[in-house]
Amino acid sequence: MSTSPNLRERARALSDAEFAQIPWISALTADEREHVRQDMLVTIAQPGDYVVRIGRPVTYWFGLIEGLLKMSNDDRLGLAITFTGIAPGGWFGEGTVLKREPYRYNIQALRVSRVVGISTEMFDWLIGHSLGFNRFVMLQLNERLGQFIAAREIDRMGSPDLRVARNLAAMFEPKLYPGVAELLRITQQELAYLVGLSRQRVNEALKTLSACGWIRVEYGGLRVLNLDALRYGELPEHSA
């Protein structure tokens, strides 16, 4: 199922509840859903496991049911760069599947994560047979493009607080990560990995965003109170 033999060995068929959590399943016909279910597998990635690795051939299209993943470059070649976090409900790598090129990024689990996938052959079959699936993939590609354009802007921000805010907003994007809703289960250390700041600096930023009424820190996660502010808002000068 993946570039890690251990993940493939742990793979199994989905339960009814897991299958119902796949966001694009409702766009398929009954026959298409049955066809897909016979192909789809789910596995558990432990913290540090690689779901995909740079240079490996693409064999599956992946989604995340539960947990937290990060997309990053190959830090053996220089500075480590995290491109984005992947939250529950998110599917990723459709561009790589469509082009059939080796992976240009790593996908790694930051916590215990339930990862689901369909084979590239099934992906191709859906592209050729399902209008609903094609619409979903087009939406994914469009949203992903907007996400990475925003990421370039985030990289140039001088305010760590706004960097944290914009990164959080990206992970609360309902079209890309419908499994998050209003509560993102993430620790400050995990957020620090994704944003590229120290845990202490992330803690300061969360206090600032909380004081502004944009988020609320809860046990085990963060609740968004003002998503538009996280996306577009500006902080008072003394907070920047």
Domains by residue range for the chain, with CATH: 5-149 (2.60.120.10), 158-239 (1.10.10.10)
**pLDDT for position 2:** 44
Please give the mean pLDDT across all residues of the chain: 89
Ramachandran region, residue 228 (left: φ > 0; alpha: ψ -120 to 50; beta: rest): alpha
Mean pLDDT of 198-211: 95
* pLDDT over 70 (residue 53): yes
pLDDT tens-digit series, residues 91-107: 999 999 999 999 999 99
